[in-house]
Copies of this chain bind each other. A is one copy, B any other.
């Protein structure tokens, strides 16, 4: 005690540097500890997880499964046949939700799907049917499927069928309609329904025949990797990916037994849609993240998804349980005369791309995307750099050339999010708030903190009983 009062103190300082600077100015021997208060969540939960002996190995297992997974395009089939849909069921993006809580674009897409399936012949009839519970709603994610934006998938829609050659797992996604007035953005006018019927009657059958005729199935993961070398990030910039898909499919497409005008229309449709690849990229990410499900002790995120009202996440250590919070509204650039008041809160399963470590996480690979989602080129670079702080690994298959071919930041760690308080950066399309509007823009958004606070608590509770 006497030493403490009269000896020369050696001070260990944690946190803000005002204290240590003042001591240092007085000639004291100060050792700084780089410490910050936890960014979010209960510090006790954070401590429990930090000390969980299973964690390091479990996270390594989870993220290695993600990185090892492959993705082959093995078939194109109607959703009815592959998703095991009971009659009068529609799938949607995000965590579970009912009609009463559904936002405008989800309602619009559900209405459109009822019209498309012939379950209703007017908008009013469809609304009554949906409001009365006459149509069952279920998340895509509960059926090994993903859907961009509203994500509404109905039995007559054709789906890409992807297979992971490592695990044999499968994942599914419907076909991308293009931009603007489209069902997934909540539009359901005649133009939308006519396009869906053409996709059902012409596009789907031609693609099925073409894909089935290919000697080697398309390696979708390889296309995604190549996209990052070509200025795409795989979520809101899919230009190179869509072109490579066209290149890979077109020789088989032209040999399909169909009128040459249909063949030309199919090639024009694919060639005219810069987001055509997205619906192949999403199930590729889904395959990889499904491979990492159910790894006890892992704090890695396996799903980030939004239904337009709530944002939900799942983790490898907590199985199929959803952790949800109110969805934020993206900030970005608007089409035509639309503005911030027109934008619906965040919607879609497409944040599976960021969950996989691309999209918003690899914006450094796609500087031109700032012209579509907003921000600046330095922002895009800084975002990718920041995401390395939240993730478990760098995926050697997904390289970012401008960062000296560094692998993409992969495997979001709930613990890292809680420690830093930084949230995953997602880029996203923006649907109009009012049902029937369609796309109003694209922008940047983050998950609500609540998802990660709940996930942290659940992971810690599991760790205490493990």
Number of interface residues of A (CB under 8 A): 35
> In the complex where A260-B255, A376-B404, A377-B402 touch, is A239 in contact with B250 (Cβ < 8 A)?
no
Interface string of A247-273 (1 = CB under 8 A from B): 110111011000011011101100100
Which of B229, B243, B255 is the one whose CB lies under 8 Å from A244?
B243
**18 extra interface residue pairs, beta carbon distance < 8 Å, beyond A254-B260, A377-B402, A377-B404:** A230-B239, A230-B368, A240-B240, A240-B243, A243-B246, A243-B247, A250-B250, A250-B271, A251-B264, A251-B265, A251-B267, A251-B271, A254-B254, A254-B263, A255-B261, A367-B402, A377-B403, A377-B405
Task: Give Cα A231–Cα B239 distance, bound, in whole angstroms.
Answer: 11
- Whether A401 sits at the interface, judged by CB under 8 Å, is yes
By a CB distance below 8 angstroms, the chain B residues around A264 are: 251-252, 254-255
Q: Is the CB of B255 within 8 A of A271?
A: no
Task: Give Cα A402–Cα B376 distance, bound, in whole angstroms.
Answer: 10
Task: Give Cα A300–Cα B376 distance, bound, in whole angstroms.
Answer: 34
By a CB distance below 8 angstroms, the chain B residues around A405 are: 371, 377
Residue of B nearest to A250 (CB): B267
Report A137 CB to chain B, min CB distance, Å: 37
User: Which residues in A have some Cβ–Cβ distance to B below 8 Å?
Assistant: 229-232, 239-240, 243-244, 246-248, 250-252, 254-255, 260-261, 263-265, 267-268, 271, 367-368, 370-371, 376-377, 401-405
By a CB distance below 8 angstroms, the chain B residues around A252 are: 264
By a CB distance below 8 angstroms, the chain B residues around A401 are: 231, 367-368, 370, 377
Q: Is the CB of B268 within 8 A of A251?
A: yes
Report A283 CB to chain B, min CB distance, Å: 22
Task: Give Cα A247–Cα B240 distance, bound, in whole angstroms.
Answer: 11
By a CB distance below 8 angstroms, the chain B residues around A240 are: 230-231, 239-240, 243
Q: Is the CB of A248 within 8 A of B271?
A: yes
Report A136 CB to chain B, min CB distance, Å: 40
Residue of B nearest to A262 (CB): B254
By a CB distance below 8 angstroms, the chain B residues around A261 are: 255
Report A242 CB to chain B, min CB distance, Å: 9
For A254, A265, A377, which residue has the most chain B Cβ atoms within 10 angstroms? Answer: A254
Task: Give Cα A313–Cα B239 distance, bound, in whole angstroms.
Answer: 37
Q: Is the CB of A254 within 8 A of B231?
A: no
Report A6 CB to chain B, min CB distance, Å: 51
By a CB distance below 8 angstroms, the chain B residues around A230 are: 230-232, 239-240, 368
By a CB distance below 8 angstroms, the chain B residues around A377 are: 401-405
Task: Give Cα A64–Cα B252 distance, bound, in whole angstroms.
Answer: 45
By a CB distance below 8 angstroms, the chain B residues around A367 are: 401-402
Report A434 CB to chain B, min CB distance, Å: 33
Task: Give Cα A370–Cα B402 distance, bound, in whole angstroms.
Answer: 11
Task: Give Cα A459–Cα B274 distance, bound, in whole angstroms.
Answer: 48
Q: Is the CB of B260 within 8 A of A250?
A: no
Would you list the 4 A-B pairs with minimal beta carbon distance, nearest first? A243-B243, A367-B401, A247-B271, A229-B368
Task: Give Cα A250–Cα B265 distance, bound, in whole angstroms.
Answer: 10
Task: Give Cα A401–Cα B251 distance, bound, in whole angstroms.
Answer: 33
For A231, A370, A401, which residue has the most chain B Cβ atoms within 10 angstroms? Answer: A231
By a CB distance below 8 angstroms, the chain B residues around A267 are: 250-251, 254
Task: Give Cα A282–Cα B70 distance, bound, in whole angstroms.
Answer: 38
Task: Give Cα A271–Cα B247 distance, bound, in whole angstroms.
Answer: 5
Report A17 CB to chain B, min CB distance, Å: 33
